[in-house]
């Protein structure tokens, strides 16, 4: 098969591993810089152009679209879908999962566990917003943040009010969430491929920190999932319509709660924590599913 990895950087771990795994399994794999692709969208024969030439036909694409390039990146994926190329994650599913509010509304509609969460832009009654998720301590998140930046723990009602006011002053969309104290600064990253959890790791925050992001000094270890945790991760991936994703779960007193679903999960942390060849599993899934026009929406969504 001919596979394209859409990635801004061919030297990062996940991209390198996917290319290597694809080639080891006998496929031809190109890495294409998403932002350097351009397209004639008015033509009746959709193509993607790159460095002065139309790209050849690919059987499948693996989008590795960073949060900052979602808008353009999903348009490129959509163009490939219109050409009948199979995308491991569809453009509509990527867009859906990138919108945190939409994601949480969809997960909640399906009855998937999540922390009590409120969102707001300019509430007149900040006290009520806080009260509604159970009162302080609460976690306040800037919607645009990644890697734990813009995620703040407010211990008291007063602190929560002033942080929310400060974010409001910046005209930001915010999310106010019940603090899952019993998670003890740990979360669980489940990697879902083709409706199965293929690997899971526990990330533990550094001492004195509640955010477990590896970028913030968190450490990863192996974890055994309960059947309920496994089901929660699978249901979350299915709700978002993602064939491959990372589902972040907190262990709460009320069972597993989903914090986030990531459509371009990094492979380095989870491959080294579990010793599994996840890149190989992703390529296997593609080999089994990349029939022409097998992307459900074919760019229509
Ligand atoms: P980002 O997407 O920027 O990584 P997250 O929402 O995943 O932000 O939050 C970063 C980290 O903070 C999580 O991995 C988790 O360890 C911790 N955290 C986030 N929300 C909560 C919460 N409601 N209760 C307890 N810990 C949380």
β-pair partners for 2? 28
What is the whole-number distance in angstroms between the Cα of residue 185 and the centre of ligand 1?
9
Tokens of 84: 């009948």
Count of Cβ atoms closer than 10 Å to residue 135 Cβ: 13
Provide the pLDDT confidence category of residue 300 given band limits of 50, 70 and 90.
low
Under 8 Å between Cβ of 46 and 80: no
Per-residue pLDDT at 298 = 64
| Domains delineated in the chain | 2-96 (3.40.50.20), 117-179 (3.30.1490.20), 182-285 (3.30.470.20)
Alpha carbons 105 and 88: distance in angstroms, whole number: 24
From atom 14 of ligand 1, which residue's Cα is the shortest distance away? Answer: 212
pLDDT digits (tens, 9 = 90+) for 173-228: 889 999 999 999 999 999 999 999 999 999 999 999 999 988 888 999 999 999 99
Out of 179, 188, 210, give the residue to mutate to test ligand 1, the one with the largest number of ligand atoms within 8 Å of its CB. Answer: 210
- Whether the pLDDT of residue 122 is over 90: the answer is no
Mean pLDDT within 232-237:
98
Under 8 Å between Cβ of 216 and 205: yes
Residue carrying the six token digits 């509430």 = 123
Out of 211, 249, 264, give the residue to mutate to test ligand 1, the one with the largest number of ligand atoms within 8 Å of its CB. Answer: 211
Per-residue pLDDT at 143 = 83
Under 8 Å between Cβ of 104 and 258: no
From atom 9 of ligand 1, which residue's Cα is the shortest distance away? Answer: 148
- Whether the pLDDT of residue 149 is over 80: the answer is no
User: DSSP letters along 41-108, please?
Assistant: SSSSS---EETTEEPPP-SEEEE---GGGHHHHHHHHHHHHHTT-EESB-HHHHHHHH-HHHHHHHHH
Under 8 Å between Cβ of 258 and 248: yes
Ligand 1, atom nearest to 138 Cα: 23
Provide the pLDDT confidence category of residue 110 given band limits of 50, 70 and 90.
very high
| CA-closest candidate to residue 96, choices 299, 261, 267 | 261
Ligand 1, atom nearest to 213 Cα: 14
From atom 19 of ligand 1, which residue's Cα is the shortest distance away? Answer: 211
Alpha carbons 79 and 101: distance in angstroms, whole number: 26
Provide the pLDDT confidence category of residue 124 given band limits of 50, 70 and 90.
confident
Per-residue pLDDT at 294 = 73
Under 8 Å between Cβ of 29 and 283: no
pLDDT digits (tens, 9 = 90+) for 246-295: 999 999 999 999 999 999 999 999 999 999 999 999 999 999 999 877 77
User: DSSP letters along 12-56, please?
Assistant: SHHHHHHHHHHHHTT-EEEEE-GGGEE--SSSSS---EETTEEPP
From atom 6 of ligand 1, which residue's Cα is the shortest distance away? Answer: 259
Per-residue pLDDT at 211 = 93
- Whether the pLDDT of residue 145 is over 70: the answer is no
Residue carrying the six token digits 């907190």 = 250
173-to-5, 106, 115 alpha-carbon distances in Å: 32, 18, 18
Q: Which residues have CB under 6 Å of ligand 1?
A: 115, 139, 141, 145-148, 151, 177-180, 183, 187, 205, 210-213, 248, 250, 259-260
pLDDT digits (tens, 9 = 90+) for 33-84: 999 999 988 878 889 999 999 999 999 999 999 888 999 999 999 999 999 9
3-state secondary structure of 210: coil
């Amino acid at each position: 098969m001919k596979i394209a990895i859409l990635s801004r950087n061919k030297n990062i771990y996940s991209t390198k591993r996917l290319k290597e795994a694809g080639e080891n399994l006998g496929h031809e794999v190109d890495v294409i810089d998403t932002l350097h692709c351009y397209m004639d969208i008015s033509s009746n024969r959709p193509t993607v152009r790159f460095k002065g030439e139309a790209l050849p036909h690919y059987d499948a694409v693996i989008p590795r679209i960073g949060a900052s390039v979602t808008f353009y990146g999903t348009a490129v994926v959509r163009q490939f879908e219109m050409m009948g190329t199979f995308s491991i994650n569809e453009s509509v599913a990527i867009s859906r999962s990138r919108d945190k509010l939409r994601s949480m509304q969809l997960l909640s509609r399906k009855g998937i566990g999540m922390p009590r969460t409120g969102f707001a832009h300019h509430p007149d009654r900040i006290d009520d917003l806080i009260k509604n998720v159970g009162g302080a301590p609460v976690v306040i998140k800037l919607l645009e943040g990644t890697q734990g930046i813009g995620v703040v723990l407010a211990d008291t009602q007063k602190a929560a009010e002033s942080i929310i006011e400060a974010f409001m002053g910046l005209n930001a969309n915010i999310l106010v969430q019940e603090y899952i104290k019993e998670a003890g600064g740990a979360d669980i990253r489940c990697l879902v491929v083709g409706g199965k959890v293929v690997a899971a790791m526990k990330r533990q925050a550094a001492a004195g920190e509640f955010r477990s992001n590896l970028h913030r000094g968190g450490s990863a270890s192996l974890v055994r999932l309960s059947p309920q945790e496994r089901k929660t991760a699978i249901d979350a991936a299915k709700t978002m319509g993602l064939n491959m994703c990372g589902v972040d779960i907190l262990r709460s007193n009320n069972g597993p709660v989903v914090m986030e679903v990531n459509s371009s999960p990094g492979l380095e942390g989870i491959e080294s924590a579990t010793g599994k060849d996840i890149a190989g599993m992703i390529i296997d899934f593609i080999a089994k599913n990349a029939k022409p026009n097998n992307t459900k929406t074919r760019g229509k969504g």
